[in-house]
Structure 1
Amino acid sequence: MNGISVAEYAARRERVLEGLGGAAGVVFAGEGGPPLLGRWTANKHFIYLTGITNEPGAAVLFDPTSPDPSKRITLLLRSRDPEREHWDGYRDPLNHALKEKTGFTSIARSGGIAGALTSAARRGRRFACLHPYSVYPGAVSPDLAAFRQVTERVPGVAIEDKTQLLIEMRSIKSEAELALMQKAVDATVDGYKAALAAIQPGVSERVVAEALESAFRKHGGEHAYNPIVGGGMNATVLHYMDNDQVLKEGELVLIDAGASFAGYAADVTRTYPVSGRFTDEQQYLYNLVLESELAGIAASRAGAAMWEVDRAARAVFEKAGMPDCYTYGVGHGLGLDVHDALPDGVLKPGMVITIEPGLYLADKALGIRIEDDILITDGDPINLTAAIPK
């Protein structure tokens, strides 16, 4: 399964079952049909637990009080529809081969989830939320919404908070996950080589973006997110993605792009002079950002909180008298999501984070950001993307 063994997925599910402490829980894949552009993909918690990306309507049910030990973790899949499969692709029947393929000892159809949740509530009297909570006025998280409906019909059932459980598990990368992230990094390294070769005055930002994508695909990867290739004023727009202007001599071009491999992402930003050489002012400002990034990387150690890492990077700009040109946090978690959630607390060995300070001066049509992907260890942090020139 994409470089992660069936045994590793099964071990993850067993950890969740244990972490629930006797409460029942469910992780939904989500709903949706194949889009006309791109691909539908499942909720990342569901992918982390199963390796399955293409089953809308699926779920994993954790029922610790089931009298049958083999049914305490169940994969629920939507019923087969021959006419729909003719359009969207053929699906496996529920048989022994599917159990071996997925590592589940119990597989059933998702139409039975309401009854299964009701039985779990009647027996155990406890539910636990695993999906991250929504922020109002957004829709309630799918497991909480389901639990509320059950508790209206089964009195005396408690709903507990276990939303940090999967976030904590996902934040610590296994050897298999780090190997996939390294492949994403390798593709990203070659993407930036191709981008550097394409940068020159008179070239469209689009040409540079296409050079990145072509190199990613040669390595079996794809864009992990919409790439940013912004020259001049466009580099001051944090989420610029038009990529349709012509690069001009004397400008800087900011590139924020990373490859994804088997679902795991890299996330890198570099800023280069379009004509190949910085002006004195550009060099001074670039070195400030570089100094800030290196300070943030140095502070990225096990036991440190992200706010402490942010403070270390921000102190460089404050000392230079430019505290207001850097307007966001220093970085974020990285993994199955480009902006992978980090659990509450401090950094731990096995986490991968980004460090990405920047300066944005609209009055000078100048934006500079430098970003690398950092593995937290028991000792010094490891820069996974150090091979990309900066």
Structure 2
Amino acid sequence: MNVDFGPRHRRKIDPTRRAATRPDGTPDDNDRVEIGPTALAFQEWAARGLTPPDMAKLRAYRLGRIREQLCARDYAGLLLFDPLNIRYATDTSNMQIWVTHNAARACFIATDGPVILFDFHNCNHLSEHLPLVDEVRPVTSFFFFEAAERSDELAGRFAAEIDSLLRQHGGGNRRLAVDKLELPGVRAFDRLGIDLCNGQEVTEYARANKDANEVNAMRCAIAACEASVAEMEKALRPGMTEADLWAVLHAENIRRGGEWIETRLLASGPRTNPWFQECGPRVIQDGDLVGFDTDLVGPYGYCADISRTWLCGDGRPSEEQRQLHRIAREMVTHDMEILKPGVSFMELMERGYRLPEEYRAQRYSVMYHGIGLCDEYPAIRYPEDCEHVGYDGVLMPGMTLCVEAYVGAVGGHEGVKLEDQVLITETGYENLTSYPFDARLSE
């Protein structure tokens, strides 16, 4: 495909330049712009016998998955604002948390044409190392913080730019998939007669199936997470606050080249019931249960989403604590063992572990959910919730899922949260999580 992408983008880095590389194929340059794993992470992965991903192949595979979905739906292109979707398609990263609530970046992917990144002010240099990004342009932002009463005007300017790209590369096709779009943008595209289609469907289905390089990246992220969790477990002691403990996980993730943590789901003692209380200033007591859900975005932007519940201190657990943990382990084990390719989501709902009645009211929000660059399709619900929010589908090799369990009675003193991350294989599943459960609670 011979396309003239115009004079706006001038590469300062020659992608064919030969230089020392790291195990993932990226330049071993102390001053590089590209983010990535630290030497500590590579050392730990080597000790565990892990193979880092080939980043060039990983990037090409992901963009190819996007284009497969676009072709299947006869869309002219895809316009992305969600930073995770932009990361998936291009591997570009820029202030990922900030741009989740400020639409200051976008990416246009022509089904048969260029990939054009619209980046934040003076940030062209951040993507110059990525050969799949054909051009970088300054974004015309139209969210209210930046545009105020000019939102409609600037949305029109941006939409006109995309309209020009569609006319140039769409072959007359006016069907444009968009993942997330502020209201002034919707109106501006409508005025131009562009047929807006569901870009989230495109990206979620593309992201659902991982190749070997994506799985290797996820293995590495999980290993970094588990090393960080081990440091957190070492630090746990009566008298420290929940926030002190959570800070260890965040710090250790960053030390290994991890990126952020999506939530603050760590609670102790009576704050473990009900679940979803985020960590705070509570002082952890001797004999408390301490439960957490990592929701950790590690190296390469891949999520390591595991949960464990520990007993604080050197004492013995109560019978109630052991029972909560036993039921949660039974649930994770059972629901993992019924996983295999070809099984429908509805079948998993029907065959899944049935919590004892006293724990069902406070069941977790899902039995399973997809995982990649954070939580993603599918969300597989409990039978009680299926009619309201459930949907069907089929497991396929290459899908990665988290198997969830929360056990806590209404009005109970404590609860237990457990979760493992798995890969659907050609014949069944592989548990990607190796971090042990608390031995005292498992006796």
What's the TM-score, normalizing by structure 2?
0.68
Where structure 2 has 5 or more consecutive residues not aligned to the other structure, the ranges are 1-25, 27-35, 37-52, 96-103, 140-157, 380-391, 439-443
Write the mapping of 1:1-390 to structure 2, written as runs, cut at 5 A. 5-21=55-71, 22-28=74-80, 30=81, 43-54=83-94, 56-62=104-110, 64=112, 72-77=113-118, 85=122, 91-92=124-125, 98=128, 101-105=130-134, 113-117=161-165, 119=167, 123-131=171-179, 147-151=189-193, 159-161=196-198, 163-259=200-296, 260-276=298-314, 277-318=316-357, 322-337=359-374, 339-342=375-378, 345-361=393-409, 363-390=411-438
Task: Please report how far the alpha carbon of residue 357 of structure 1 lies from its aligned counterpart in structure 2 after TM superposition.
Answer: 1.1
Change (3 A) 1:166 1:316: same
- Alpha-carbon distance in 1 for matches of 2:118, 2:260: 29
Aligned to 1:39: none
Change (3 A) 1:374 1:18: closer
Task: Please report how far the alpha carbon of residue 281 of structure 1 lies from its aligned counterpart in structure 2 after TM superposition.
Answer: 1.8
- Alpha-carbon distance in 1 for matches of 2:184, 2:87: 17
- Alpha-carbon distance in 1 for matches of 2:64, 2:229: 40
Change (3 A) 1:386 1:309: farther
SS at match of 1:346: coil
Give the letter aligned to residue 340 of structure 1.
E
Change (3 A) 1:9 1:251: closer
Give the letter aligned to residue 94 of structure 2.
N
- Alpha-carbon distance in 2 for matches of 1:376, 1:9: 21
Change (3 A) 1:116 1:271: same
Query: Does the Cα contact within 8 Å between 1:77 and 1:107 map onto a contact in 2?
Result: yes
Query: Does the Cα contact within 8 Å between 2:364 and 2:404 map onto a contact in 1?
Result: no
Query: Does the Cα contact within 8 Å between 2:178 and 2:197 map onto a contact in 1?
Result: no
- Alpha-carbon distance in 1 for matches of 2:270, 2:89: 43
- Alpha-carbon distance in 1 for matches of 2:135, 2:254: 37
Give the letter aligned to residue 212 of structure 1.
L
Query: Does the Cα contact within 8 Å between 1:27 and 1:45 map onto a contact in 2?
Result: no
Query: Does the Cα contact within 8 Å between 1:10 and 1:104 map onto a contact in 2?
Result: no
Deviations 1:243-267 (A, max 9, x none): 3111123321112225421211101
Task: Please report how far the alpha carbon of residue 229 of structure 1 lies from its aligned counterpart in structure 2 after TM superposition.
Answer: 2.3
- Alpha-carbon distance in 2 for matches of 1:225, 1:383: 22
Task: Please report how far the alpha carbon of residue 190 of structure 1 lies from its aligned counterpart in structure 2 after TM superposition.
Answer: 1.7
Change (3 A) 1:271 1:12: closer
Task: Please report how far the alpha carbon of residue 114 of structure 1 lies from its aligned counterpart in structure 2 after TM superposition.
Answer: 3.7
What's the TM-score, normalizing by structure 1?
0.76
Query: Does the Cα contact within 8 Å between 2:107 and 2:116 map onto a contact in 1?
Result: yes
Task: Please report how far the alpha carbon of residue 215 of structure 1 lies from its aligned counterpart in structure 2 after TM superposition.
Answer: 2.8
Query: Does the Cα contact within 8 Å between 2:341 and 2:395 map onto a contact in 1?
Result: yes
Task: Please report how far the alpha carbon of residue 376 of structure 1 lies from its aligned counterpart in structure 2 after TM superposition.
Answer: 1.0
Query: Does the Cα contact within 8 Å between 2:368 and 2:404 map onto a contact in 1?
Result: yes
Where structure 1 has 5 or more consecutive residues not aligned to the other structure, the ranges are 31-41, 65-71, 152-156
Change (3 A) 1:195 1:126: same
Q: CA RMSD in A?
A: 3.3
Aligned to 1:34: none
Deviations 1:36-85 (A, max 9, x none): xxxxxx62121111111129434223154xxxxxxx22314359xxxx54
SS at match of 1:101: coil
- Alpha-carbon distance in 2 for matches of 1:365, 1:210: 25
Aligned to 1:67: none
- Alpha-carbon distance in 2 for matches of 1:323, 1:78: 46
Query: Does the Cα contact within 8 Å between 2:66 and 2:89 map onto a contact in 1?
Result: no
